[in-house]
Amino acid sequence: MTFEACALVLLGGFFGGISRFFVSGFVGRRIGETFPWGTLVVNVSGALVIGALSGLVRSRGGAFGGEMFRDLAFVGFLGGYTTVSSFSLQTLNLALDQPAFASQPLEPGSRPLYVFCHEAAIRDKKRTVLRVYLAVGCGAAIGSLLRFLSGILIVSVMGLSALWATGFVNALGSFVIGLFAALTGPDGRLLVSPAARQFVMGGICGGFTTFSAMSLDTFILLLQGDIPLAGLYLVLVVALSLVAAWVGHMVAARLNE
């Protein structure tokens, strides 16, 4: 690990988080926000891109791009662009029949903010929109770096497989977003601004968790012919992430009483 690698991950995570925020909001406004189409689109598109780039690297014997490119594109941008935490939270809220990203009204009589606060982004001034985008980008950069450092700790220091690293960050990030979403929701005990809320939820949690790496891990296992492990890994990571978001929500609900 070098300072250069960390800087590239930060840079890629920043732009990946902003891209995710923009694409998910654009898709949500065009198709509708009753179902998390935006998160679905960014995760599928991110998985397609990382699969294509991985295939290109493999076809050239690992000579394509080098470590700098992989830190910037794979770990940084695509890791920050895709997200498991938002998927877990939105799935949980579909089950609970409540808005996935609803927050407390900031003023008496004002409406709550929904799905990545894009309603506020449309309504408010450009300065407010820019503040929220920057909050998501900076949070995603931090989350991506934390994911990168977690991977080094789990793989290089503890000697475990990279599969454990991906599963760990997705489960932990899902727990945190479930906890924070409930604590800052309409019935929560914490009142935070839209920018601060998205800094944690859309930014740090979105950048810390990664759908693209999980997809690539599963794909590599399939290429190696280990179909049972690929299926088990995918099911366990998704299930643990959903359970972690639910546990975070339940902990916050107790704290809100």
pLDDT digits (tens, 9 = 90+) for 40-81: 999 999 999 999 988 888 777 655 567 888 899 999 999 999
Residue type, 251: V
Q: Are 192 and 181 in contact (CB under 8 A)?
A: no
Using alpha carbons, list the distances in angstroms from residue 162 to 8, 33, 151, 152, 157. 20, 34, 7, 9, 12
Decide: pTM greater than 0.75.
Answer: yes
Give the Cβ contact number of residue 149 at 10 Å.
13
Q: How confident is the model at residue 141 (pLDDT cuts 50, 70, 90)?
A: very high
Ramachandran region, residue 64 (left: φ > 0; alpha: ψ -120 to 50; beta: rest): beta
Domain that holds residue 81: 3-256
| H-run or E-run covering 149 | helix 126-152
User: What is the Cβ-side half-sphere exposure of residue 56, based on CA atoms within 13 angstroms?
Assistant: 12
Q: DSSP 3-state assignment of 13?
A: helix
DSSP letter, residue 245: H
**pLDDT reported for residue 1:** 62
Number of domains in the chain: 1
Q: Are 202 and 119 in contact (CB under 8 A)?
A: no
Q: How confident is the model at residue 167 (pLDDT cuts 50, 70, 90)?
A: very high
Cα dihedral value 233, 237, 240, 242, nearest 10: -140
What's the start-to-end Cα distance of the chain, in Å?
44
Q: Which of 38, 221, 174, 6 is nearest to 116 (CA)?
A: 38
**How far apart are alpha carbons 79 and 71 in whole angstroms?**
10
